[in-house]
Amino acid sequence: MASIGLALLLCLVQLHPLVASSVHADGNLTHRSTPSLCRLDQADALLKLKQSFMFHSYSESDDSLADSITTPPSWQSGTDCCLWEGVGCSNTTGHVIALNLSGFGLYSNGIDPVLFNLTSLRLLDLSINNFGGQRSEIPSVGFERLALLTHLNLSNSGISGRYIYTDDDPGYYTWRGTPNDLWEPNSQTLVANLSNLRELYLDFVSISPSTAEDCFKALAKSAPHLRVLSLERCGLQGHIGRSLSRLHSPDVINLNNNYGITPGPFPEFLMNFLNLKVLQLSETLRIDWTNFSYVKSSYFSSFMALTELGLDGKIISRDFVSSFGMLEPLRKLVLARLDLPREPESIFSWFEGVKNLRSLHFYDCDLCMTIPSSIGNFKNLTSLTIHGSNLTSRTLSAVANIRNLKILAIDYCGCLVGQLPPAIGNMTSLEILRIWKCQLSGPIPQEVGALKELTSLVLVNTGLSGRIPSSMANLTQLTELWLNGNSLSGEIPTSFFTLAAREYLGLSYNKLSGTIHEFEGVSSRLKRVYLEMNGLTGQIPRSLLVLPNLTHLYIGGNSLTGSVDLAKSLWSSTWYLKLSNNNISGHLLHSICDSRMEVLDLSFNNFSGPVPPCLMENGVLRILNLRENQFKGILPTNISSGCYVETIDLHGNKIEGQIPRALHNCSNLEVLDLGRNQIADTFPSWLGRLLNLRVLVLRSNQLHGSIDYLEDEKSGEQFSKIIDLSSNNLSGNLHPQWFGNLKSMKKCNNTGQIIDH
């Protein structure tokens, strides 16, 4: 979507300045022994910016950033900053004019103000990072200093901006929390002084409750020469208005997924943008009950430059859909929530005039019909997505006629039933095949093995059964394989672990059985393995535990046995380890102290020995679940403030001694379950100072004495969700305040409130 101008600037960032480098005859770039081009003040600003970034221990949900580790290694004091990764400088002045940190996986509590010392910036790209630590927002001051900016990209950066107008005075603002306003009409806005701006990307930046009209008014006033405006899923609300008509000649307008936009007449001023190449309004502006449903085909003559179009609403006119055929340059068409006429043999023929169509997407459309075999006439179609639509059983056979298709995604399909047809093997150009939450049946056909270009195969929650076909060993380019939530049976093919390209393997929630065999030729790229909830037996092969890049291993809910050697190599790379609900034995060695483990779940097994003290103070572990094992000994007494653990579950072990007072350093602790152990202590009222603690289970121990209620300014709501102290030797009276705070243990009925836990 980026323009040629952005591409050129990005190229500048990637290339070293010619005054400081040369190209040898062999094509390799080497540095001349020339003085540093970088200005000292510019280098200082960048190094201070680097200091604001923190190591981010990624959670399981951060898939897009999961492999990023730290800040740019080339950013070192005493070196030429113009040669640093992501930095571009002016060849004449040495000022930094481009900063592209997109996708570096950086993490910080907001954008450091030192960034705004780089006043010569033309390009600033901070997308696909996380600057939203502690719910940070877009700075209200600073961007006005970057008056030379032509390209600004803050998409997917984890930050937001919010404001509210009062009803009586549009120049007066009231604030909620600590907001920072994007569109405030004075010198402290994001765009007020950016008159040179040509491209603005704020996708997935929450700017609600801003009204769309207010935002567009500020943009049109401050940056009338914008060529690219991308505000996907920003939380815009209200009417679009006419302010965007003041933009001179935009190439790209992307307003996708702004669900709060009020349905209304289609903005006809868009027809005046003769250079418009991308118009995305799907999941934003519904065209139900608007003038756009009834336009004449000549209406589209103004959109002859369009290469990408996305619309949302009910189409009730055949002429309307067939008008797409006039848009010869159209490459991508996105139609959302459309109630198409039920003429299955004609609907797709209406698009046949779009000879250059590459990408066709239907979202939540009423397509309960048979896709005709004529869809194979879309010779140039490379991507087809059908989401949330009702399809008949012949759909997949028809789609198999599109021989050049590279991406096929079908999910949440209501009436798609039947088997995965063998004809799927004819789609030999496929690189991504995704079928998710559909009602298929029968086995995976052997013909799938013919799809040798596949890099991603997702057949999740589809009802497939039978054995995994041996032909899948031919899929040597496959980096991710997800077959979760089916009824597949038999053994897991050894090839699933040995193919060199494999990074992700998901087979959870099937009926797989047998042993996992030791394997050779281990793929050094395998990162995530999910084998939960099957019928696997035997021992866990050592070759699985020593994969050098393994970050996630989920193998719980099987019938695995034997002793497991949790090798030191496993701790060095693995973040999530779940071996729960098996019959495995073993010990936790001291080498775990050097791990990066965030989640350790060995519950419902036969592990024994002491619990290494370091587990609760290594600054990384969040979830420790050793429930129902044979661990023994005492809990560590020297837990430091480096404890970030959120859950400690040691229920059903042989832990003895006292509850260590040092647990008060675990300020993030939410769940503490020490039930059914051999702890001999008084009631730990001091735990009330842990403000996040919501669940405390100490049942079936040897607690004695009274149950004190801690009353001081540092205490929280005293375990305000659930507390279980049953089967101990506690005595005395309960403070009435307990019954006011144990909210989750109350249940209302006709007789009043009763204890429910």
417 pLDDT higher than 70: no
322 pLDDT higher than 60: no
Kindly indicate the confidence band of residue 368, based on its pLDDT and cuts at 50, 70 and 90: low
Burial 622-650 (b: 16+ CB within 10 A, else e): bbbbbbbbebeebbbeebeeebbbbbbbb
**From 210-219, 319-328, 642-651, 741-750, the region with the lowest mean pLDDT:** 741-750
- Terminal Cα-to-Cα distance of the chain (whole angstroms): 56
Mean pLDDT of 650-669: 93
49 pLDDT higher than 60: yes
**Which of 257-261, 289-293, 639-643, 646-650 has the highest average model confidence (pLDDT)?**
646-650
**From 227-236, 251-260, 264-273, 526-535, the region with the lowest mean pLDDT:** 264-273
Indicate the SS3 state at residue 704.
strand
Q: What is the pLDDT of residues 518-559, one digit of tens each?
A: 988 666 789 999 999 999 999 999 889 888 889 999 999 999
Tokens 């899923």 sit at which residue? 233
664 pLDDT higher than 80: yes
Give the per-residue pLDDT at 408. Answer: 94
**From 256-260, 293-297, 508-512, the region with the lowest mean pLDDT:** 293-297
Question: In a 10 Å sphere around its CB, with 0-12 CB exposed, 13-18 middle and 19+ buried, how is residue 415 labelled?
Answer: middle
Tokens of 667: 């300020």
HEC letters along 347-377: HHHHHCCCCCCCEEEEECCCCCECCCHHHHH
Residues 6+ apart with CB under 8 A from 7: none
Mean pLDDT of 461-474: 95
Please report the domains of the chain, with CATH numbers, ordered by start residue: 587-755 (3.80.10.10)
Mean pLDDT of 16-25: 32
Indicate the SS3 state at residue 531.
coil
416 pLDDT higher than 70: no
Kindly indicate the confidence band of residue 185, based on its pLDDT and cuts at 50, 70 and 90: very low
More confident residue, 31 or 346: 346
Mean pLDDT of 427-455: 93
Question: In a 10 Å sphere around its CB, with 0-12 CB exposed, 13-18 middle and 19+ buried, how is residue 186 labelled?
Answer: exposed
Give the per-residue pLDDT at 314. Answer: 57
Tokens of 63: 């898939």
CB 542 within 8 A of CB 567: yes
**From 163-167, 277-281, 308-312, the region with the lowest mean pLDDT:** 163-167
Average pLDDT, the chain: 78
CB 112 within 8 A of CB 44: no
CB 602 within 8 A of CB 576: no
CB 77 within 8 A of CB 47: yes
More confident residue, 535 or 258: 535
Tell me 541's DSSP state: P
More confident residue, 647 or 137: 647
Kindly indicate the confidence band of residue 450, based on its pLDDT and cuts at 50, 70 and 90: very high
Long-range CB contacts for residues 387-391, cutoff 8 Å, separation at least 24:
387/361, 387/362, 387/363, 387/411, 387/412, 388/363, 388/364, 388/412, 388/413, 389/362, 389/363, 389/364, 389/365, 389/413, 389/414, 390/366, 390/414, 390/415, 390/416, 391/367, 391/415, 391/416
In 3D, which of 501, 465, 499, 495 has the Cα closest to residue 483?
465
Stated pTM of the model: 0.76
Residues 6+ apart with CB under 8 A from 111: 126, 131, 136, 138, 139, 142, 159
717 pLDDT higher than 80: no
CB 576 within 8 A of CB 599: yes
Kindly indicate the confidence band of residue 743, based on its pLDDT and cuts at 50, 70 and 90: low
19 pLDDT higher than 60: no
Give the per-residue pLDDT at 447. Answer: 95
Burial 116-137 (b: 16+ CB within 10 A, else e): bbbebbbbbbbbbbbbbeeebb
Give the per-residue pLDDT at 437. Answer: 87
Tokens of 96: 């930094």
Q: What percent of the chain has pLDDT over 70?
A: 72
Q: What is the pLDDT of residues 487-509, one digit of tens each?
A: 999 999 999 998 889 999 999 99
Residues 6+ apart with CB under 8 A from 735: 707, 708, 709
**Which of 351-365, 480-494, 542-556, 656-670 has the highest average model confidence (pLDDT)?**
480-494
CA dist 336 → 70, 281, 288, 462 (Å): 39, 9, 12, 23
Give the per-residue pLDDT at 105. Answer: 81
Tell me 227's DSSP state: S
456 pLDDT higher than 90: yes
> What pairing do the DSSP bridges indicate for beta strands 606-609 and 671-673?
unpaired
